[in-house]
Amino acid sequence: MSTASEPLVLSEKSSSGKVIILRLNRPKALNALSSPLFDQLNIELEKADADESVGAIVLTGSDKAFAAGADIKEMKDKDFATTYKNNFLGTWTRIGAIRKPIIGAVSGFALGGGCELAMSLDMLLCTPGATFGQPEITLGIIPGAGGTQRLTGLIGKPRAMEMVLANRKIDGKTAEAWGLVSRCVAEGEDVVAEAVKIGDRIAGYGAVAVQAGKEAVNGSLELPLEQGLRLERRLFQSLFATKDQKEGMSAFAEKRKPVWSHL
Tell me, what's the pLDDT at 54?
97
Residues forming the active site: 70, 113, 116, 136
CATH of the domain at 231: 1.10.12.10
Tell me, what's the pLDDT at 1?
45
4 band by pLDDT with thresholds 50, 70 and 90: low
Residue at 169 is within a domain: yes
Q: Are residues 157 and 138 in the same domain?
A: yes
Q: Are residues 172 and 248 in the same domain?
A: no
Q: Are residues 233 and 121 in the same domain?
A: no
Residue at 43 is within a domain: yes
Torsion (CA) 5, 48, 145, 136 in degrees, nearest 10: -50
CB 191 within 8 A of CB 185: yes
Query: Quick one: three-class SS letters along the chain?
Result: CCCCCCCCEEEEECCCCCEEEEEECCHHHCCCECHHHHHHHHHHHHHHHHCCCCCEEEEECCCCEEECCECHHHHCCCCHHHHHHCCCCHHHHHHHHCCCCEEEEECEEEECHHHHHHHCCCEEEECCCCEEECHHHHHCCCCCCCCCHHHHHHHCHHHHHHHHHCCCCEEHHHHHHHCCCCEECCCCCCHHHHHHHHHHHHHCCCHHHHHHHHHHHHHHHHCCHHHHHHHHHHHHHHHHHCHHHHHHHHHHHCCCCCCCCCC
Tell me, what's the pLDDT at 89?
75
Residue at 261 is within a domain: no
Q: Are residues 102 and 227 in the same domain?
A: no
Q: Are residues 199 and 230 in the same domain?
A: no
Q: Are residues 25 and 109 in the same domain?
A: yes
CATH of the domain at 176: 3.90.226.10
Segment 48-87, tens digit of pLDDT: 999 999 999 999 999 999 999 887 888 788 788 988 887 7
CA distance 220 to 227: 9
Residue at 237 is within a domain: yes
Domain that holds residue 240: 207-253
Question: pLDDT at residue 220 above 90?
Answer: yes
Question: pLDDT at residue 88 above 80?
Answer: no
Tell me, what's the pLDDT at 82?
83
* Of the residues 161, 177, 203, the one at which a domain ends: 203
Cα–Cα nearest to 179, from 199, 160, 164, 193: 160
Count of the separate structural domains present in the chain: 2
